[in-house]
């Protein structure tokens, strides 16, 4: 794993053959006229990411994930296309815990036309600054969406597998947990069996927090941004390690 402050390597686009037109960088069909000041860019991003800061914006630029125009006076200016690229990066971190290296490769594939990605609408922020995610569920709403009984979700909450937030709502990731739990229930795995999985995940989170703490505690405006990036990468690596170990062990059950 590379250093948490190191600039990401630039992913070279695929060469364009003679006579071919180089594809427009992603997102396509969105204005690239850079007229937005950094304050405008932050205002646009904070609709969905209320904790976005100027230092984090500069950090993502330093990593080569966005390239704002510089005015003769040295001020950064962003285009609507820049904002969509930034939203993509932030969503990949928030929703999938992907490291910036992987996100950079995904953007390079999008730029080269090797992948497609629709730019979803921004999610609104509530007055208290929390993201108003349409996938922030009540128990009843999540049960309906997942196609399971409300009592099934309640059992997962009572067992500590799901943990509602302060306002009593479940988050976007909890839907994936419910769907997986429903499939496991078909094989006789109930909420009590899943407690150990939750405990194992909590121990891994404790490890990530311990590793990230020195980075978060460093002085400097980008400390929290680097800590967030490192935490996302460690989470992804631990998930890969868990999957590999589990697959190897399961393979021994039936040689």
User: What's the pLDDT at 7?
Assistant: 54
- Percent of the chain exceeding pLDDT 90 equals 34
Could you give all domains of the chain from N- to C-terminal order, each with its CATH number?
A: 38-111 (1.10.1660.10), 133-189 (1.10.1660), 194-255 (no CATH)
pLDDT above 50 (res 123): no
Beta-ladder partners of 125? 131
Q: Is the pLDDT of residue 16 over 70?
A: no
CA-to-CA distance for 62 and 94, rounded, in angstroms?
Answer: 19
Query: Which one is predicted more confidently, 240 or 86?
Result: 86
- Asked if residue 78 has pLDDT above 90, the reply is yes
- pLDDT value at position 219? 67
Closest among 115, 132, 114 to 48, alpha carbons compared: 132
Interval 158-211: pLDDT, tens: 999 999 987 788 887 788 899 899 999 999 999 999 999 999 999 999 999 999
pLDDT of residue 190: 92
* Prediction pTM value: 0.53
Given this model, what pLDDT does residue 127 score?
37
- Quote the tokens at residue 241: 């390690």
Q: Mean pLDDT score of the chain, rounded to an integer? A: 80
Closest CA to 111 of 193, 22, 217, 191: 22
The DSSP symbol for 251 reads H
Q: Which residues contact residue 103 at a Cβ distance below 8 angstroms, ignoring those fewer than 6 apart?
A: 65, 88, 89, 92, 93
Higher pLDDT, 79 or 137: 79
At 116 the pLDDT is: 73
Of 96-100, 136-140, 203-207, where does the model show the most confidence? 203-207
Instruction: Take residue 231 and report the two structure tokens written for it.
Output: 């935490």
pLDDT at position 21 over 50? no
* Residue pLDDT, tens place only, 56-75: 888 899 889 999 999 998 89
- Residue 107 confidence (pLDDT): 92
- Across the range 95-121, mean pLDDT stands at 80
Helix, strand, coil proportions of the chain in percent (round to 5)?
A: 50, 5, 45
Residues in CB range of 182: below 8 A, 6 or more apart = 146, 147, 148, 152
Cα separation, 65 vs 79, in Å, equals 14
Beta strands in the chain (DSSP E): 69-70, 76-77
Read off the DSSP letter of residue 97. Answer: -
Mean of the pLDDT values across residues 132-152? 80
Angle at which helices 191-216 and 172-185 cross, to 10°? 150
Which residue(s) pair with 36 in the sheet?
Answer: 78
Burial of 87 (0-12, 13-18, 19+ CB in 10 A): buried
Question: Using an 8 Å Cβ cutoff, are 84 and 119 in contact?
Answer: yes
In the block, tokens 């922020």 appear at 125
- CB-based contacts of 56, cutoff 8 Å, min separation 6: 222, 224, 225, 228
Q: CA 154 → CA 115, 176, 185, 187, 190, distances in Å?
A: 39, 15, 14, 19, 12
* 206-244: pLDDT as tens digits: 999 999 888 877 766 566 667 777 787 788 788 888 888
Coil vs helix vs strand at 48: coil
Q: What is the pLDDT of residues 124-135, one digit of tens each?
A: 443 334 444 445
Which residue, among 4, 8, 90, 6, has the nearest Cα to 41 in the 3D structure? 90
Q: pLDDT at position 8, please?
A: 56
């Amino acid at each position: 794993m590379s250093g948490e402050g190191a600039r990401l390597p630039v992913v070279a686009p695929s060469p364009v053959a003679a006579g071919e037109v180089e594809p427009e960088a992603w997102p396509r069909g969105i204005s690239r006229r850079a007229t937005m000041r950094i304050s405008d860019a932050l205002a646009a991003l904070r609709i969905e990411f209320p904790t976005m800061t100027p230092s984090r914006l500069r950090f993502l630029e330093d990593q080569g994930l966005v390239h704002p125009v510089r005015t003769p006076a040295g001020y950064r200016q962003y285009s609507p296309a820049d904002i969509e690229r930034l939203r993509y990066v932030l969503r990949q971190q928030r929703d999938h815990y992907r490291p910036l290296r992987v996100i950079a490769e995904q953007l390079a594939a999008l730029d080269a036309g090797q992948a497609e990605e629709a730019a979803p609408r921004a999610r609104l922020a509530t007055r208290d600054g929390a993201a108003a995610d349409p996938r922030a569920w009540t128990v009843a709403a999540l049960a309906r969406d997942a196609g399971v009984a409300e009592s099934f979700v309640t059992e997962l909450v009572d067992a500590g597998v799901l943990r509602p937030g302060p306002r009593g709502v479940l988050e976007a990731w909890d839907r994936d947990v419910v769907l997986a739990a429903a499939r496991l229930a078909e094989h006789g795995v109930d909420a009590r069996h899943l407690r150990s999985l939750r405990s194992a995940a909590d121990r891994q989170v404790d490890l990530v927090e311990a590793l990230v703490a020195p980075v978060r505690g460093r002085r400097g405006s980008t400390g929290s941004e680097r800590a967030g990036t490192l935490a996302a990468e460690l989470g992804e690596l631990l998930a890969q390690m868990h999957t590999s170990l589990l697959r190897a062990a399961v393979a021994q059950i039936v040689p």
